[in-house]
Chain A
């Protein structure tokens, strides 16, 4: 004979286990949905240094070009930090309303690392790739703009590697290959060709 209390307890346990299971699945989906919304404030470290001019290469969707423009920014003394600050300013500008090449809010650079002075590895926030518009031209202009800005800030680099959230990724948003190293000279030549169209 099993007491009624025991039966009720077992039923309640089963019910609770089911509820917890469904709640766990719900939380997983919710976490996946919210995963890409990285707050910009967490990504942008405070920068100290003198104010100076940085050359940014700005993409323009209307004519498919990438052109240089000087802006006033706070420039740290260390070269990699200086390059990171230039990229941060570039991406922040793209996320603003009325941008010539809109990028999702929260797009930012997490770090710039120099390897043997000629190779730069740049780590971007996940939102840049996951919320980026899909298309060859849209992705090409983003990559060219970043590589040109970086190579202007770090003139000795010959190649650039993209990481997203610390990981390699086959393409930026389905089209442009960012798994392999990108050649700085080849990008500069392609940017000149775009401007000469």
Chain B
């Protein structure tokens, strides 16, 4: 038995326990110090949601061993959302349906009915968090879409069917061909002896059981769903490379020498960027690849908030909302659209240019918002006259890739200005080295919206955003015929 006293020389301890106690203390010290030294290194836990309108990921908050998802992050990409926090109650209006959640309560109200949550709803730093296990039920109820939930991998298929690629091992030369029904843009990592494809924003699942091949190049294919993604691992017997064909519908893994002699393909970013929606936009009837397509880039996202327009309104929020409205307006005019950012995620500037160039966009519009100045400002790239180039099929330096398209970008900017002016939105045109305009191989402009008066909060209002989105869509539609002629 261990005893201790305030007075006395030595503390009599059980001789067997003392070394154990010291060992535990030492272990604790090592754990704490190593934790302090290394900092947060664990991979961010995330949830992936695939829906007909948008595919996106939500970073999870883990409290007491339970995963939570921010309610605004969950719902904002799916439709029109208004959220009000009053005390410990969060009231939400989503597509004309009211919900109410209470901090520390397992009961929520959705419309006129009650919803029991898996654990308590949490309000933290003015944000509401829903237990992960309750996400599929709530989203299915709010959107009216059937939900398929892959709990272990944290992937939710909301109104869309999981997609199985067609896998074919071809001989002479050996190559593994993965065919998808839609355009895919996975993260690609080629390591010693394997190729790894990570599908984060496409509802891709395993084509079947893992396969082993008796082939001189491809040894096996295995697929695992984990942390909001599907990871395809192809083990190799010899050096190989991957390339994208069929406008991004097919991935071919072949011998490195063979790939090197293949026609040049688009350059893909090293880090997997969040890709455009996977078949979320209707294709043009009768065309496998739309001839005229607009890429909309909601600037900033994730840790990059952009301008802080008001203490509670960040530029990244305005641009995302405006991008969704512009996409709807364009689609109503029969113009196919790809959204580069559909949720609050950070995407590198070069990756944005790569996505737009890779999708062979006719028009690229990056949306910005600012509290400085008045009205709307439209920018085209600022390039030296010496870089002027007319041959759009020739190789061009990355820094001046836009030069061959400036003669399309300027008419686009003028068309947008005319359309905005007819709706009484004060608009100016200018050239500026706005990132990443110089790297775009399409007609490309940046649009920066500023309030028309002294109220910067106007930028978040439905009325203002709708007016700007409709005017921009009209400006694009007015120029469609001319740009199609130059493609």
Contacts and interface: CB of A to CB of B under 8 A. Distances in A.
Interface of A: 1-5, 7, 10-11, 14, 17-18, 21-22, 24-25, 61, 64, 133-138, 140, 143, 159, 170-171, 174-183, 185-187, 189-190, 193-194, 197
B167 interface: no
A138 B93 CA distance: 36
Given A2-B13, A137-B370, A175-B368, A7 B22 contact: yes
Nearest to B349: A170
A179 B29 CA distance: 45
Q: How large is the interface on B (under 10, 10 to 19, 20 to 34, 35 or more residues)?
A: 35 or more
Contacts of A159: 384
B434 interface: yes
Contact of A137 (B10, B11, B448): B448
21 contacts: A2-B19, A4-B11, A7-B13, A14-B28, A22-B36, A24-B36, A133-B372, A134-B307, A134-B308, A135-B448, A136-B368, A136-B370, A136-B434, A137-B372, A138-B370, A140-B379, A180-B399, A180-B438, A186-B385, A193-B429, A193-B431
A190 B434 contact: no
A24 B386 CA distance: 53
A17 B349 contact: no
A193 B32 CA distance: 61
Contacts of B368: 135-136, 175
B304 A174 contact: yes
A177 B433 contact: yes
Given A140-B432, A143-B433, A4 B10 contact: yes
Contacts of B373: 61, 64, 137
A58 B434 CA distance: 20
A161 to B, nearest CB: 12
B285 interface: no
A182 B382 contact: yes
A134 B315 CA distance: 9
The listed residue with most B CB atoms (<10 A of its CB), out of A11, A135, A174, A179, is: A135
Contacts of A175: 299, 368, 434-435
B433 A180 contact: yes
Interface in B347-388: 349, 368, 370-373, 377, 379, 382-386
B436 interface: yes
B300 A186 contact: no
Nearest to A28: B39
Contacts of B299: 175
B373 to A, nearest CB: 6
Contacts of A3: 10
Contact of A193 (B19, B300, B315, B430): B430
